[in-house]
Amino acid sequence: MMKRLLWFLAALTLCLTTATAQRIPPGCEVGKKYIDVIGSCVNQDDQPVTSLSAFMANGKPTVVDFWASWCGPCRHEIPGLEALWKKYAGKINVVGIAIGDLMQDTEKAIEELGITYPVISNRQEAAERYGIQSIPQIILIDGKGIIRANGLRGEAIEDAIKIHIQ
């Protein structure tokens, strides 16, 4: 019971911070090299453990969405990301990184939201390494591993993609 209360308070805090002006975390600054993330690949049966770098190995721009199943603004962005994943198939990568989430909650959200792009479960390390304190945090990494856009939402995601696809 105490664990659930702590998770609820953490979720509430993160959701409230998303309502304020979004601060760009230090690990998400434009011009910096991305930080690799290793975790369980939730929806790709052939890759039980994987890394962000494994999905970026093809040299294509990569949209990375740091999210959690309990985050309303995160859930709001996911259908748009799914549509971009399909629209730009073969030209971009889209990778979700579920943070602060229990595996079964991430799996349930993937099913509910119809997510087909890869999702890496990394409960805490990814958020710490990137300095993320509020979600969703959506960034675009170019094919060479440099962060080219951050704090993306809605139409700004596709605008950033169009600039960086070849």
Partner residues linked to 41 by β-bridges: 120
Q: How far apart are CA 154 and CA 148, in angstroms?
A: 17
From the candidates 15, 28, 41, 71, which is the catalytic residue? 71
* Paired tokens of 9: 């308070």
Q: What is the dihedral of CA 146, 150, 156, 162, to 10 degrees?
A: 0
How many other CB atoms are there within 10 angstroms of residue 58's CB atom? 11
15 in active site: no
From the candidates 15, 28, 41, 74, which is the catalytic residue? 74
74 in active site: yes
Q: How far apart are CA 86 and CA 66, in angstroms?
A: 19
- Known catalytic residues are 71, 74
